[in-house]
Structure 1
Amino acid sequence: MPRKKKEQKPKKSFLKTALKYLSLLFFAGLGLVIVFVMLIKAGFFGALPSDESLKNIQNNIATEVYSADKVLLGRFFVQERNPTKYENISPNVINALVATEDARFFDHKGVDPRSLVRVILRTVIMQDRSGGGGSTLSQQLAKNLFPRDMNSKFDIAVTKVKEALIAFQLESIYTKEEILELYLNTVPFGENIYGIEMASKRFFNKKAAVLKIEEAAVLVGMLKANHTYNPRLFPDKSKGRRNVVMSQMVKYDYLSEAEYNTLKELPIEIDYNKISHSSGLATYFRDFIKPELIKWTEENTKEDGTNYNLFTDGLKIYTTIDSRIQKYAEAAMTRIMANLQRQFDDHWSRQKPWSTNPDLLNTAIKNTDHYKSLKKKGLSHEEILKKMKAKNLMDIFTWDGLKEKEMSSIDSLQHYMMLLQTGVVALDPSNGHIKAWVGGIDFSQFQYDHVIRAKRQVGSTFKPFVYAAALEQGMNPCDYTSASRTVYKNLEGWTPGNADKDENVMKYSFTGALAKSINTVTIKVLEEVGVDNVIETARVMGIDEKLPEVPSVALGTASISLIEMTKTYCTMANGGSRIQPVYLSKIYDKKGKLLFELEDPEPKRAIKQTTAQLMNEMLKSVVNEGTASSARWKYKLPNDIAGKTGTTQSNTDGWFIGYNPKLVVGVWVGADNPAIRFRSTALGSGGNMALPIFVGLFNDMNKDASLNGITKSRFPALSADQLAYLDCELEKEDKNFIQKVLGLDKKDKAKVKEFGEEKKGLLKKIGDLFKKKEKEN
């Protein structure tokens, strides 16, 4: 009988068992994920933003500074951003962004389920931070608004979940268009700029609303790696990335294949326009007003009670600057100073100022930060010099741009010591509005402001205050004063002279003395008026600086800032009223609410209107036939202009302050170290150094029809009485002085008459004799 088979127990299916455990693991894992998410939502790993805070998203917004004619001058910022509305963003940007970063953006609710699986597998489970690829634009916006803090691998998972939860919140609060607007206003584009508007202006010098397809693709392409695909730094890489973006646009039907084939061949063409703290128009001016604006923000509060912040609150600052005049002032300064520097370099080509004065360079070396830091380390003078003579590659300022040169620290110091500097400022004399401000030759390299910080001897630009004081005292401008030299024994034998000693044989009216800038006449007029009266006249006209109560003040020995001298000339230009320079016009908050508006201060009568009008007429002679006459015969300046040149001792400082009834412009030129200067007055005078900048500015303005109201302004015609008051020759022979020099008998009238008839020969003869006697003495 066959043996009966042992009955086998039915085996459990391995598959069922596996499924069972997998299910348990899945639900356990799902439960853990849910708990994990709930803990994050409950704030266990840090609080999530509330719906209310998301409705009031605040970003750091740059404050913008505008000219009076609404041209952007520059910005103050921590992060350079300028938000814009969705409707002001080109559809090309939206299409490129969605096609490249989140093709299903309009279909999901903040998180893309298809991408979520990839994120969980690669980023969360595999802890692969480069996995990426799953963040929607809403999640990226969450990341931009709340930057990640990932110090460990676990932080990655927490952050990703937070971003997903915030994305759901954002989608419930904002429309898709609003999310795109928020995203494009917060995303970084490198170079410390944020938002599509700033990126568009930086790289293409245009508004985001008018970006072309290929331009939009360049900017969207930068989002992957804004440095790597920077079109300025890496045009080839940028072009490749741009074409990838456009191919994505083809893939998702935002661009036709034919359009793509045409556009992909185009080269990268940018119009780079970086306006930063040290670039753009009116850099010195913006640096000057920054402390004033910070003070204003500290003294004014927002509706929530907190103070405004200049760098983050997106204020709109309107100034009195006229962008046209500012642009022409900067252009004229650049042209003239570059040419003048070449003259200066040629002038000193065979030797340097310290060749005969070694202490000049030695003192400068010891005053450098490099020398002082090495001295603190205990190095000897010889050891320091050895280090400072070591050569290195360095960028050096030149008028042809920064040049990389191999130089030592001492070489560099010598180079910069030999650079001429300048200051230029323009004011509206009717109200004190500052229209242009150029504080130096290049703000990025030289921050010292020669408009307001530098105080230099003003030379003959002070003389108008002497003659204004004389007119105020009732002196007759046609009373002639001898230009002969006088020895002032009570002032230790001080004997002021004139630049041209032949002028000593003449006598001058007020107009002639101003036109020819006769020192000796000015001192004699001051003596008659009184030093105290001259100083008081200068004070009421606008000089706030304490002036030395000595006769030499008439020749400009006082050190005064350019802005102070220029504002004082406004008193003559406007008919006799003192003004105060102003520069801030209006301040708005980021929503357009007016926070501040300038109220022009009332001008104060300083001198009589007749005095001002007579001074204007006399100072016109300086330009027409005096020390500034090169404006006419050399530079062909046609405008109705008054003004005064100034040249200080040994040609240290060159000045010109010129004006018409609508604009007063002050110019100073010189080296920062007063010991460095032209050795020739022909080169170092105010007429050669400063006047050409003024002329260049006005000639540029003359070509701009929109400025005709300023450039074609003319001084009011003088009355018949005023004309008669000035109806005299500029100069006459000083027969008394001639007789004195030649030892003539005053009774020898025939010989005196003979000299008078032979004027030309007389002047030369007397001048030569005067020089001879001066040498003998």
Structure 2
Amino acid sequence: MGIVWNDAASYWKYIKIFWITFLVIALGVASVFMMASAGVFGDMPEFEQLENPQTNLATEILSADGETLAKLYLSDNRTPISYEELPENIVDALIATEDARYYNHAGIDARGFARAVAYLGKKGGASTISQQLSRQLFIGPRAPDKQGAIIQKIKEWVIAVRLERSYTKEEIIAMYLNIYDYNYNADGIRSAARIYFGKEPQDLRMEESAVLVGMLKNSSYYNPIRREELVFNRRNTVLNQMAKYEKITQEQADSLKALPMKINFNPESHREGLATYFRTYLQRWLKEWVDKNPKDDGSKYNIYNDGLTVYTTIDSRLQKNAEVAVQEHMKRLQAEFFVQNTKQRNATAPFTDLEQHQIDNILERAMKNSARWRAMKREGKSEKEIRASFRKATKMTVFDYNSDSYDKDTTMTPLDSIRYYKTFLRAAMMSMEPQTGHVKAWVGGVDNTHFQYDNVIQGARQVGSTFKPFVYATAIDQLRYSPCDSFPDTQYCIEPLKYGNIEEWCPKNSNGKYSGKNFTLKRALASSVNTVTAQLIDKVGPASVVKIAKDMGLTHPIPEVPSIALGTPDFNVFELVGAYGTFANQGVYVKPIFVTRIEDKNGTVLYEYVPETKDVLSKEVAYAMVNLMEGVTQSGSGARLRGNAMVENTVYKEIITGYPYEFSNPIAGKTGTTQNQSDGWFMGMVPNLVTGVWVGGEDRSVHFDSSAYGQGASMALPIWALYMKANYADKKLGISKGAFPEPENQTINVDCAKMLEDLKNDLDLDDSDLDDLDF
């Protein structure tokens, strides 16, 4: 029924009341907006903040082949992407579900607001995408009281309008999806896509995008890991909305709704994923870098919040092959170690040849160096209380090769856990491209969660016979020896005081015997004949060997004494791989590098590496050395790479039937074994990849009792072989199977077979005349 006006005066009276009311409301709303903008209801963001909203951005670590190795962050695992990098299906899902009239308003949806007021929110809220973004960026959690909530909503409106004036619609969508917290360190759409589906956003299927859009309502409540059915239904609601607003057909929606929800959960944390040891070291390196490279205003970059991009040399495919090789071999080797170190077979297991007081001293040091001891000391606990805690049984999770994810829940005393961890052999390997120094793979141990000591770069271990090539290189370089020159395998002594040594030094071969034969240098290195190496270092002097070794990048101390010839100095895998790279790179040392470039969040280059190189050996000497070390894999301790070695083993079935590697391509290398089999090494080279492997116990007293198991050829070489077989299986990696490049004018003879034939012809000899010469 319409209004009946008695006269014109009444009509105009109501018109006046209407307009006065309208103006009062309009002025009131405008006043509220102005007061909100002026900060009457609390601080509001400045214009500059709207232009450059501050969010914590994780540092992204990229592999050489473009994969994300990890993110560095403290609270926010966020790596923003542009609107162009978003798939169309997620934009459609977002608008259909959250703000159907998004392109038709300027931050506030009047129709949506009226509907929300009329139906008290029962038919949906009125928050636009711009309002939701303003809440995420500047407002924060919803206030618990009604008055606070109203004030927040007013501020939200004001900021939403400002955002619409400062950014395009596309930029607002990208900002909103980049800012949202999806839980499980999935900050922003890129992290969410990787963590929940294991892929980049642009690769998301429509039903997967619908899951992530559905979570925007409340990611804690709509949690696909804990509430799968709830999220499944929410996903289907999103698909229905897309059909309602004609982003897809109803038939498509029905088809997609019938699909199961497949979550591929890939949590991103600092101790999970590829290259965990490398990433831990990289964090330390980055912290040192930011200390030395401040911003223009003098402040420091924050590697957890500033959104840096770090381009590394690690190849994710090589890295994965390396980690699998280490884990596969070490699991089997450890099983054999356990068989040999039962209490019945070794009363002091896992330690060998130690008295009880020596074992007690090892455990005492480990206890005092533990995190538990330090933490209780900080709490003010007495030493008596601390020691008592180490003997009190407690629940813990320990490392176990036979358990899922290598985690085993158990109960033991902390002191027993220290002894338990001492029983495990450790391993390390690193791979490098010798021509560039680019580190391609870095494995510091078998599991970074339980064994955090990085054996690639931390500390150093005796290198054994892997040091011998530096002695041979010095002799060939200075005295122009050839791999075909021969020396007798007889006792050789270096007199006291000649090089500062106090006693006469008369090294024995590993078997304690002397063959009496003459060995060519190639054969002597292949068989690791100590007496020949002693003769060489005596001819050139230890100081000359030390100089060449240091020029090739060995940084740990090297005493100038003859015994270094047999590998008494300690080095780490990192520097030894760099040094061996000199041989493969035709005598030029290239310092290993692992970061090529660092960019800020805007793509500005902050750091670009400059190669550090040094000419150490001539091409001829380097090639002669490569030829010498090829002999190691042809007829020496590395010959099992060719599949012709047999070793008895009760657990490691692969070894019982021989080493099934059967490489036929040129390989240069050197094994190394230290006293009592405490350290096993293998350095392996092909023309474009140099790899070093070390295996040993945390303590030198933890080792195999015999060289059959404890030598480098048994402990370390199989890791290299497994790694290279996987590399060669992937043709895209381009790992060389060809010969090492020979210099155009190779002046040092490396063809010993031809030399022998010429010698026989020149002197008219037969084979019996050369019985004492071993080529």
TM-score of the aligned structures, taking structure 1 as reference length: 0.82
Deviation of 1:319 after TM superposition, in Å, equals: 2.3
CA distance in 2: counterparts of 1:514 and 1:25, whole angstroms = 102
Out of 635, 642, 646, the position equivalent to 2:672 is 646
For structure 1, which runs of at least 5 residues remain unmatched after alignment?
1-20, 730-754, 760-777
CA distance in 1: counterparts of 2:196 and 2:420, whole angstroms = 35
Give the aligned residue type for 1:600: P
Aligned to 1:565, what secondary structure does the other structure show? helix
- Are 1:71 and 2:89 an aligned pair? no
1:749-760 residue pairs with structure 2 within 5 A?
A: none
Farther off after superposition, 486-495 or 328-337: 486-495
CA distance in 1: counterparts of 2:384 and 2:711, whole angstroms = 38
1:80-229 residue pairs with structure 2 within 5 A?
A: 80-113=77-110, 116=113, 133-148=125-140, 153=145, 154-229=147-222
Deviation of 1:373 after TM superposition, in Å, equals: 4.8
- In the other structure, the counterpart of 1:751 is none
- In the other structure, the counterpart of 1:616 is 626
CA distance 1:655–1:259, shift in 2 (3 Å): same
Aligned to 1:277, what secondary structure does the other structure show? coil
Out of 465, 468, 473, the position equivalent to 1:460 is 465
Give the aligned residue type for 1:456: R
CA distance in 2: counterparts of 1:367 and 1:197, whole angstroms = 41
Contact 2:399 2:450 in 1 (8 A): no
Deviation of 1:32 after TM superposition, in Å, equals: 7.1
Give the aligned residue type for 2:102: F
CA distance in 1: counterparts of 2:410 and 2:274, whole angstroms = 32
CA distance in 2: counterparts of 1:84 and 1:369, whole angstroms = 40
| Cα deviations by residue, 1:721-745 (Å, 9 ceiling, x for unpaired) | 613678678xxxxxxxxxxxxxxxx
Deviation of 1:354 after TM superposition, in Å, equals: 4.6
Aligned to 1:81, what secondary structure does the other structure show? coil
CA distance in 2: counterparts of 1:650 and 1:756, whole angstroms = 39
Aligned to 2:545, what secondary structure does the other structure show? helix
Contact 2:630 2:669 in 1 (8 A): yes
Give the aligned residue type for 1:338: K
CA distance 1:52–1:546, shift in 2 (3 Å): closer
Out of 448, 456, 463, the position equivalent to 1:443 is 448
- In the other structure, the counterpart of 2:406 is 402
1:21-40 residue pairs with structure 2 within 5 A?
A: 35-40=31-36
Deviation of 1:119 after TM superposition, in Å, equals: 7.1
- In the other structure, the counterpart of 2:275 is 282
Contact 1:701 1:711 in 2 (8 A): no
- In the other structure, the counterpart of 2:542 is 531
CA distance in 2: counterparts of 1:728 and 1:373, whole angstroms = 68
- In the other structure, the counterpart of 1:469 is 474
- In the other structure, the counterpart of 2:7 is none
Contact 1:196 1:208 in 2 (8 A): yes
CA distance 1:487–1:105, shift in 2 (3 Å): closer
Out of 635, 639, 646, the position equivalent to 1:625 is 635
CA distance 1:691–1:404, shift in 2 (3 Å): closer
- In the other structure, the counterpart of 1:484 is 491
- Are 1:723 and 2:750 an aligned pair? yes
CA distance in 1: counterparts of 2:455 and 2:382, whole angstroms = 35
Contact 1:573 1:661 in 2 (8 A): yes
CA distance 1:118–1:680, shift in 2 (3 Å): farther
Deviation of 1:672 after TM superposition, in Å, equals: 1.7
Deviation of 1:625 after TM superposition, in Å, equals: 0.6
Deviation of 1:26 after TM superposition, in Å, equals: 11
- In the other structure, the counterpart of 1:417 is 422
Contact 2:591 2:611 in 1 (8 A): no
CA distance in 2: counterparts of 1:131 and 1:25, whole angstroms = 28
Contact 1:461 1:657 in 2 (8 A): yes
Deviation of 1:162 after TM superposition, in Å, equals: 0.6
CA distance in 2: counterparts of 1:201 and 1:610, whole angstroms = 50
CA distance in 2: counterparts of 1:503 and 1:60, whole angstroms = 68
CA distance in 1: counterparts of 2:420 and 2:151, whole angstroms = 58
Deviation of 1:680 after TM superposition, in Å, equals: 1.4
CA distance in 1: counterparts of 2:770 and 2:575, whole angstroms = 47
TM-score of the aligned structures, taking structure 2 as reference length: 0.82
CA distance in 1: counterparts of 2:298 and 2:382, whole angstroms = 54
Deviation of 1:713 after TM superposition, in Å, equals: 4.4
CA distance in 2: counterparts of 1:149 and 1:259, whole angstroms = 37
Farther off after superposition, 655-664 or 175-184: 175-184
| Cα deviations by residue, 1:417-451 (Å, 9 ceiling, x for unpaired) | 12222221122222322222222222333332211
Percent identity, aligned pairs only, is 37
CA distance in 1: counterparts of 2:166 and 2:363, whole angstroms = 68
- Are 1:324 and 2:317 an aligned pair? yes
Deviation of 1:702 after TM superposition, in Å, equals: 1.6
Deviation of 1:647 after TM superposition, in Å, equals: 0.6
Aligned to 1:190, what secondary structure does the other structure show? coil
- In the other structure, the counterpart of 2:764 is none
Deviation of 1:35 after TM superposition, in Å, equals: 5.0
CA distance 1:294–1:394, shift in 2 (3 Å): closer
Structure exhibiting the larger radius of gyration computed from Cα positions: 1
Give the aligned residue type for 1:613: Y
- Are 1:334 and 2:327 an aligned pair? yes
Contact 1:498 1:504 in 2 (8 A): no
CA distance in 2: counterparts of 1:627 and 1:515, whole angstroms = 6
Deviation of 1:648 after TM superposition, in Å, equals: 0.8
Farther off after superposition, 150-159 or 567-576: 150-159
* Structural RMSD (CA): 3.6
CA distance in 2: counterparts of 1:644 and 1:553, whole angstroms = 16
Give the paired residue count.
709
CA distance 1:76–1:757, shift in 2 (3 Å): closer
- In the other structure, the counterpart of 1:370 is 372
Deviation of 1:656 after TM superposition, in Å, equals: 0.9
| Cα deviations by residue, 1:477-520 (Å, 9 ceiling, x for unpaired) | 52323333759777456653222234454443322221111223
Give the aligned residue type for 2:213: V
